[in-house]
Amino acid sequence: MSDPLNTVVIVGGGTAGWLTAGLLAAEHRQGLEVGLEIILIESPDVSPIGVGEGTWPTMRTSLQTMGVSETRFIRECDASFKQGTRFSRWTTGDDDHYYHPFAPPIRFNDFDLARHWQPLRDKVNYADAVTPQGRACEHALAPKQITTPEFAGNLNYGYHLDAGKFSKFLERHCVEKLGVTHIVDNVVSVNGADNGDIESLSLQSGETVNGDLFIDCTGFAALLLGKHYEVPYRSMQDYLFNDRALAVQVPRSSPDDPIASTTLSTAQRAGWIWDIALPNRRGVGYVHSSAHTSDEQAEADLRSYLASTGSAEFSESCAPRRIDFSAGHREKLWHRNCVAVGLSGGFVEPLEASALVMIEQAANMLSEQLPPNRSIMDIVAKRFNRRFLRHWHSIADFLKLHYVLSRREDSEYWRDNRGAGSIPADLQESLELWRYRCPRYQDFSHVDELFPAASYQYVLYGMNFETEWPSKRRQSDTASRATAGELFEENIRLTKQALQALPTNRDLINKVHEFGFQKI
């Protein structure tokens, strides 16, 4: 075979670098006599970004694929269970709230329960009518019991985790168990080959590292795809205004505090605050638009949130860390023999925690479609780019939905967010359609859709969007009305069962630390 792909060089030791290394090594090294050589180079001077503490349920599969024990992961990364997001004050700015849980509505695959919920909308909120998960989260319950095997769940779940500990945990696993070579050094130059590919990297120590495929996981620096290849950045700032975050870590007032099992997202005058509960601390941050508020005001709003959530003393003494970003992505993610994964490829605000799942998707596609030689690499690159540009587009639409549906009038920020020019055309069209029917599978035709119809339903109906199902057809729909009635009853039964059987998030975490889960 000409130009075989033998060595992959990853630059960057943040979550993107180590997740990519782990997923590639699990497939292309583990159990093989002659495996792929995987080298990860990490700067001793530039720390990983250290935020990114909410994952999707996909992380369970990623950890399992890498051969990680869930018990060890929970113990060593201070992880807790996440079952979705609770959005507060997004709709009216008063005390409204709704859940976007990870579990889809009951029998979502073959039955349109959402339309049968429309006449009941004043009696029960959408999430509570169709899944037990919102109610379980309201009581800070865990998604499983201590007797449930590793990675299995009674309810669907992902994790909240300590980002710093997570990348160190992955590093240990990749190096000790999966045979990834780790070099701690600064990349000081990128050396091109005659054909325009990257041939090697020069390190500060004087060493040169050659490779066949280079993965840029250098975060916002985008050293390979951005600086070396100058692949342009496509801004999404016209739709998504937020460009700054103020982040703090808040100590717990008592070791027995309940641990919320959703990310709390509370809308503010010029953005929103995330609140992520770990067993020993909370991670809190105010994501906002610098064009709509000053740094001083943003900090005051963050402090007042902390004070209102029981951290009054801390809010006076804390010094938040400021992180600037620009919503958008590279015009392509794979160019020649270089792929950007993680922040180097793009970033939008963490409203639905979509960054880590994009890393997992990229690493999985790389792993599955890894070209065995250079000659077919451009074909794989074209497909990779097509897929990830579609993902960026769909993330922008879904995030924007949260802003478009808001009826808040208390600041320019919310009014500007509903301005016609700021709404992506596809989203605008979909909203027109959904006034007359609920979002369903056919609206999202790809199997790897990040935000399927269920997610749209939770946000639309959580924020009181009205779908007007023609009343004559509704009356003639006797058979499916009966089925819907049974499903609503079934959900009530499952909810009671979940509330009785599930321990609190705190209890389960304590037990995992003490006893561990059963291994499957």
Ligand X SMILES: Cc1cc2nc3c(=O)[nH]c(=O)nc-3n(C[C@H](O)[C@H](O)[C@H](O)COP(=O)(O)OP(=O)(O)OC[C@H]3O[C@@H](n4cnc5c(N)ncnc54)[C@H](O)[C@@H]3O)c2cc1C
Minimal distance, residue 235 CB to ligand X, in Å: 16
Residues 6+ apart with CB under 8 A from 461: 114, 117, 121, 125, 126
> Interface residues for ligand X in 34-53 (CB under 6 A)?
41-43, 46, 48-49, 51-53
Minimal distance, residue 268 CB to ligand X, in Å: 15
Instruction: Give the CA distances from residue 156 to residues 63, 81, 83, 383, 477, in Å, rounded to whole numbers and listed in that order.
Output: 15, 10, 7, 30, 32
Question: Does the footprint of ligand X cover residue 353 (CB under 6 A)?
Answer: yes
Q: Residue for token digits 């005659």?
A: 194
- Residue 316, Cβ neighbours under 10 Å: how many? 10
Phi first, then psi, for residue 66 (nearest 5°) are -80, -5
Size of the site for ligand X (CB under 6 A): 37
- Binding region for ligand X (CB under 6 A) out of 304-312, 341-349, 400-408, 418-426: 341-349
Q: Out of 5, 9, 16, 74, which residue is the one contacting ligand X (CB under 6 A)?
A: 16
Separation of alpha carbons 143 and 136, rounded Å: 8
Q: Is 420 exposed, middle or buried (0-12, 13-18, 19+ CB in 10 A)?
A: exposed
Q: Is 385 exposed, middle or buried (0-12, 13-18, 19+ CB in 10 A)?
A: middle
Instruction: Give the CA distances from residue 468 to residues 164, 434, 459, 472, in Å, rounded to whole numbers and listed in that order.
Output: 47, 9, 17, 11
Separation of alpha carbons 353 and 223, rounded Å: 24
Question: Does the footprint of ligand X cover residue 30 (CB under 6 A)?
Answer: no
Q: Out of 217, 381, 427, 498, which residue is the one contacting ligand X (CB under 6 A)?
A: 217
Instruction: Answer yes or no: are the C-beta atoms of 201 and 189 closer than 8 Å.
Output: yes
Question: Does the footprint of ligand X cover residue 219 (CB under 6 A)?
Answer: yes
> Interface residues for ligand X in 274-313 (CB under 6 A)?
285
Instruction: Answer yes or no: are the C-beta atoms of 363 and 58 closer than 8 Å.
Output: no
Taking the least distance from each CB to ligand X, the nearer of 136 and 187 is: 187
Minimal distance, residue 461 CB to ligand X, in Å: 24
Minimal distance, residue 336 CB to ligand X, in Å: 19
Question: Does the footprint of ligand X cover residue 209 (CB under 6 A)?
Answer: no
Binding mask 46-85 for ligand X (x = CB under 6 A): x-xx-xxxx-------------------------------
Question: Does the footprint of ligand X cover residue 223 (CB under 6 A)?
Answer: yes
Minimal distance, residue 43 CB to ligand X, in Å: 3
Q: Residue for token digits 């309940």?
A: 258
Question: Does the footprint of ligand X cover residue 23 (CB under 6 A)?
Answer: no
Binding mask 309-328 for ligand X (x = CB under 6 A): --------------x-x---
Per CB under 6 A, residues contacting ligand X are 11-17, 41-43, 46, 48-49, 51-54, 163, 186-187, 217-219, 221, 223, 245, 247, 285, 323, 325, 342-344, 350, 353, 355-356
